[in-house]
Amino acid sequence: MAYQRGVASLIDVLHADESLLQVADARAMAQTETARAAIATFNALGGGWQPMSADALAVH
């Protein structure tokens, strides 16, 4: 809007867009690393096991 009103130059708009994309990319990378850390923690605490099948439960 500032560009359309003549308050900001196209270069200013492009720099703002670049900054926004960099921040969005950093956020996505942080979310990915958070998910990876949660998975690693889950596995370190013994996660990843498979529940027993119904046939195996009937035997016990």
pLDDT tens readout for residues 1-13? 888 888 899 999 9
Between the alpha carbon of residue 39 and those of residues 13, 19, 25, 32, 54, the distances in Å are 39, 30, 21, 11, 27
pLDDT tens readout for residues 14-59? 999 999 999 999 999 999 999 999 999 998 998 876 766 767 666 6
Dihedral angle over CA of 19, 20, 26, 27, nearest 10: 160
pTM for the whole thing?
0.63
Structure confidence at residue 15 (pLDDT): 96
Report how far residue 22's alpha carbon sits from residue 56's, in angstroms, rounded to the nearest whole number: 51
Structure confidence at residue 28 (pLDDT): 98
